[in-house]
Structure 1
């Protein structure tokens, strides 16, 4: 016997869970499927190795769906400044929240904090059902509905299936949607670091020969690093002793936070530029990393995914309120037009930045450095970059503007 819902979301990470919360608030009967039940509690002194730099727009979304208070309770870290250097020259950028109307530029939040808080909300919403402990084995997109079969034999049907199942999306393949992109032959090495100097509620980033090194402030005074390296360099760093790794990191940081005192576990993940050629099919849509994967140098991947979730939820709720069936394809095409261009623009900007800082020819380095310093001394241009980095741009979903869509 098949269980029936209006919408089924596959993937219970922060993007999928945000979409589920928004839809359930709007009275849409939604099922959230994930192979695991995410942890809600952990040792007080532990830190998740994966963090996200959440923008003001993302905070607005999470406040609207009800997750933000629990996130603050579990621990978030506001960052008030951002400092960026070019290691090859004297180029520098400094962004300060004092130049905006806000008390911070954004928040660094452990991914597990966001996910746990969203799942807490889902438990309180009558229209939401969380299903864990099994994976999707097959998907059929039929004329009248979409059908899923799990590897334990359970079957489901819905007017719409939303794939939030990550960069290597199984459902995207099942729907026959191709991707375009290329590997960067770089890995993002992540770890939690204790430093000699305090982080000063500042996000620090230094562009090096192989890629940027970022120190992101954490609530416990430590920093989460994201270090872009050639794949072979990153894998070699994983094999180093803690002491040898800290020495290498200290040298790369040029003493921006003093001595590197201790490191937690390290991990590295391959980086790629990738986008789905279509965001939707009959009874089917992609959000988050299933739709796009971008370079992490500006930390915009999670924020782009949350905007996807907010935009699609808004259109689904609006379609239901208008009395139109969720099986219609028109609102899905509107979602694709709304989000694909914005995502491609952000992805292309990150790709261009990565390639720009990879050039080591001296004349180009001098021009690049001069450009950074020119931007740094132009209030109008800095304000534009500031607002864009905070997610405060045109054509945002209502949730991102702190307005409910239900």
Structure 2
């Protein structure tokens, strides 16, 4: 006998847990499945090596689903300025929250902080259940439901299954949904570093020949770095001792934060451009990295996943309120149309910027730096880019506008 739910979500990271919270607030009976029990407590003073730059739109979503207070309690860092430099051409961009209606441009948040706060909120919602240390072994479809068979033999079923199980999504593979994309032959090297100068609540980014180096401010005064390098270079830098690594980092930084004083553990992650050919199937949908993977140079991957979560939750709740089935092709097509185009525009933009900044011929370098300086000197253009970077654009889900969808 199968345990019955309205929606089953597989993958308890940021996108999956956000979708589960939103659905449960709307009274939807939802099960969230994950192969691990997410970390909820950690030693004082430790820092997650993975962080996200969350936009104002993402903050709105997390506030509405009830996770933001728990995130604030654990620690987030508002950034009020963003400074971007072209190391080769001399172009500069400066975005300031003073030019917006907000007191900050966004927040740098450890990934574990967001996930822990979401799971804390899920524990308070009666229509949500979380199952951990489980893996999906099989998906089946009958006339009334999609069945999920677990590796321990249990059988679950729901009107809709949502896959939020990451870029290597097992459920996407089970459904036969193909992906398109390419390897950048780059890796994102991440670490937490201590710098001589204060980060000044500013996100710093310096474009270098192999890729951008970003310093993201943390609440404890340190910075989280995301350094895009050729994969072979990243491998070499991982093998360096701390002293040599800090020397390389200081040179690459151009002195924007003074001397590099200390570095924590380092890791590197391969970078890809990847998107699913389709986001939906019968009683099935993809969200987050299971649907799309983009270059991290503007930190928009997590934000795109949160928008997916908000969009599908809004549509599920609306469809349910209208007493229509969640198997409705109209509902599933609406979700795909809503999110796929927006995601592809963002992904293509990141891809083009990444390629432009790898060009080293003087004419191209001169043109891109001139373009940066033109934007920096044009208030209207800066306002447009500021709003877009904050996630405040057209056709947002209601949660992203700070409105409930239930």
Which residue pairs with 1:337 in the alignment? 337
Residue in 1 that maps onto 2:123: 123
1:135 correspondence with 2:131: no
Distance in 2 between residues matched to 1:125 and 1:321, nearest whole Å: 19
2:318 paired with 1:301 = no
Question: For residue 259 of structure 1, what is the aligned residue in structure 2?
Answer: 259
1:27 aligns with 2:27: yes
SS in 2 for 1:63: helix
What is the deviation of 1:46?
0.1
Q: Is the 8 A contact 1:6 1:28 kept in 2?
A: yes
Mark the CA change 1:134 to 1:346 in structure 2 (over 3 Å): closer, same or farther.
same
SS at match of 1:358: coil
* 1:109 matched residue in structure 2: 109
- Cα distance in 2 for partners of 1:399, 1:139 equals 30
CA distance in 1, matches of 2:143, 2:169: 23
Paired with 1:377 and 1:142, the residues of 2 have a C-alpha distance of 60
Instruction: After TM superposition, give the deviation of residue 90 of structure 1 in Å.
Output: 1.3
CA distance in 2 between partners of 1:373 and 1:336 (Å) = 37
Is 1:177 the counterpart of 2:177 in the alignment? Answer: yes
Match of 1:76? 76
Q: Hey, what's the Cα distance between the residues in 1 that align with 2:152 and 2:238? A: 37
DSSP 3-state at the match of 2:272: strand
Q: Partners in 1 of 2:153 and 2:250 — Cα distance?
A: 52
1:363-374 mapped onto 2 (5 Å cutoff): 363-374=363-374
CA distance in 1, matches of 2:58, 2:82: 18
Report the Cα distance in structure 2 between the residues aligned to 1:344 and 1:223, rounded to whole angstroms.
30
Number of residue pairs the alignment of both structures matches: 406
Shift of 1:124: 0.3
Match of residue 405 from structure 2: 405
Partner deviation per Cα, 1:308-352 (whole Å, 9 max, x = no partner):
000000000000000111122211110000000000000000000
Contact 1:149–1:155, Cα closer than 8 Å, also in 2 = yes
Spell out structure 1 runs of 4+ moving beyond 3 A: none
2:167 aligned with 1:167, yes or no? yes
Aligned to 2:357, the other structure's residue is in SS state: helix
Distance 2:368 2:62 in 1: 37
Are residues 1:321 and 2:321 paired?
yes
Deviation by residue 1:141-174 (Cα, 9 ceiling, x = unmatched): 3332111111111111111000000001000011
Distance 2:205 2:398 in 1: 32
Report the Cα distance in structure 2 between the residues aligned to 1:153 and 1:233, rounded to whole angstroms.
45
Q: TM-score, normalised by structure 2?
A: 0.99
Could you tell me whether the CA contact under 8 Å between 1:106 and 1:390 is conserved in 2? yes
Stretch of structure 1 that moved more, 293-302 or 147-156:
147-156
RMSD: 0.6
Asked if 1:45 is matched to 2:53, the reply is no
2:261 alignment partner, SS class: strand
- Contact 1:167–1:291 under 8 Å retained in 2: yes
Q: TM-score, normalised by structure 1?
A: 0.99
What's the CA shift for 1:251? 0.6
Match of 2:285 in 1: 285
**Partner Cα distance (1:10, 1:141) in 2:** 16
Q: Contact conserved, 1:194 with 1:260, CA < 8 A, in 2?
A: yes
2:216 corresponding residue in structure 1? 216
